[in-house]
Amino acid sequence: MTGTPYATMIEARDIRKRYSTTTALDGVDLDVPTGTVYGLLGPNGAGKTTLVRILATLLRPDSGAARVAGRDVVREANAVRYRIGLTGQFAAVDEKLTGRENLRLFGRLYHLPRRQAKEKADALLERFGLAEAGDRVVSMYSGGMRRRLDIAASLLVDPAVLFLDEPTTGLDPRSRSQVWDAIRGLVREGTTVLLTTQYLDEADQLADRIGVIDRGRLIASGTPGELKGSVGGTRVEIVVEDPSRLGAAVDALRHAVDADPHVVPGARRISAAVDGAGGDLIAAAVRALDAAGIVTEDIALRRPTLDDVFLRLTGHTT
Ligand code: ATP
């Protein structure tokens, strides 16, 4: 189903949803161009899962309308279902079966002919780096392997749109980057992806556009660069032991990290906005401060987080 002729793959207008006393979605509009990745970024309870479930036809909105792959998610729910894949926060695969058996089973559930289900399962295992592990039972898999298998299962029918609800929550850094690679591969092949996440760096890594959701409303949207720019990007921060050395530390840091550091008012802290994100900046800063004989209490690379974005946009943290 990839290659459908819609310029906008996901289109939502004024979507509202209440659960008894909780307003989960309070008028959400969304446009996701075909072949792009949209990152829906928000804290726990912001309404991300509710929106995904509505777009994936698992939940009806109270009001508003949405079209996915050109079909209305309420009136043409069945047609939408044939065009989407959905991976939730909890793996849907059966622990007692092998990875290969799981994928074949899903293939049969999607009404693929037996032989096609088998071929598709093999191809997906290969593609997600699970070919070797394919004949092991899933209970032996790491979190990242399970998540990749789960994503593979949602791709048995070549969906035009893939919904990934917090695809890396709870994974260790290595598993996370494996899942990110898998997602990047899909995007290269033209799948439109809507992913939800609580991590700014995840949205930054994967998304073409990011929407920030808070209490059922989209409070900001833009490219990752625009969003990070609004919170100031990556910074090197140091705390010096002796306040009288602040000026010397600023000078040392200026050369070391090629930036314009400033002293944070009222603190023994210096902050420098830097390009890139490498740990080598820290190493350079440590060497320069050491050479200048400046003792530090703390030195750290601070990447902007969801908290920083929220603080900036709402005046409160998540
Ligand atoms: P999380 O990251 O925790 O999954 P989320 O951003 O996906 O959060 P939702 O799960 O969409 O948020 O929940 C939005 C709001 O609706 C929350 O306040 C939540 O408690 C509430 N909510 C969600 N599902 C139900 C339900 N079935 N019944 C009552 N309230 C619900």
Could you tell me what percentage of the chain is helix, strand and coil, using 3-state DSSP and rounding each to the nearest 5? Answer: 40, 25, 35
Q: Is residue 308 part of a domain?
A: no
Higher-scoring residue by pLDDT: 179, 68? 68
Cβ atoms of 38 and 163 closer than 8 Å: no
48 Cβ inside 6 Å of ligand 1: yes
N-term to C-term CA, the chain: 38
45 Cβ inside 6 Å of ligand 1: yes
C-alpha span between 37 and 203 (Å, rounded): 9
Same domain, 248 and 202: no
Q: Is residue 71 part of a domain?
A: yes
Q: In the numeric block, which tokens belong to residue 139?
A: 């209970």
Q: Is residue 315 part of a domain?
A: no
Same domain, 128 and 275: no
Q: Please tell me the total count of domains within the chain.
A: 2
Average pLDDT of the segment spanning 155-178: 87
| Amino acid identity, position 158 | D
| Residues above pLDDT 90, as percent of the chain | 56
C-alpha span between 42 and 199 (Å, rounded): 8
| Residues above pLDDT 70, as percent of the chain | 95
> Which atom number of ligand 1 is nearest to the Cα of residue 53?
11
Q: Which residues of 162-185 are buried (b: 16+ CB within 10 A; e: fewer)?
A: bbbbbbbbebeeebbebbbebbee
Same domain, 122 and 211: yes
Same domain, 243 and 214: no
- Per DSSP bridges, beta strands 262-263 and 63-68 are unpaired
pTM of the model: 0.80
Same domain, 248 and 210: no
Whichever domain contains 267, its CATH number is 3.30.70
Q: Is residue 178 part of a domain?
A: yes
Q: Is residue 113 part of a domain?
A: yes
C-alpha span between 29 and 217 (Å, rounded): 9
List the domain range (segments joined by +) for residue 166. Answer: 8-229
50 Cβ inside 6 Å of ligand 1: yes
Q: Is residue 1 part of a domain?
A: no
CB under 8 Å to 75, separation ≥6 — which residues? none
Q: What is the pLDDT of residues 123-162, one digit of tens each?
A: 999 988 899 999 999 999 988 899 889 989 988 888 999 9
Cβ atoms of 116 and 107 closer than 8 Å: yes
CA–centroid distance, residue 316 to ligand 1 (Å): 20
- Taking CA atoms only, the protein residue closest to ligand 1 atom 25 is 19
pLDDT for 3: 46
Same domain, 71 and 139: yes
Q: Is residue 314 part of a domain?
A: no
Ligand 1: which of 19, 21, 52 to mutate, judged by most atoms within 8 Å of the beta carbon?
Answer: 19
Q: What is the pLDDT of residues 191-241, one digit of tens each?
A: 999 999 988 888 888 999 999 999 999 999 999 888 877 777 788 889 999
CA–centroid distance, residue 306 to ligand 1 (Å): 18
Q: Is residue 207 part of a domain?
A: yes
Instruction: Examine the pLDDT at 276 and tell me if it is beyond 70.
Output: no
- Taking CA atoms only, the protein residue closest to ligand 1 atom 3 is 44
- Give the residue from 185, 209, 229 where a domain finishes: 229
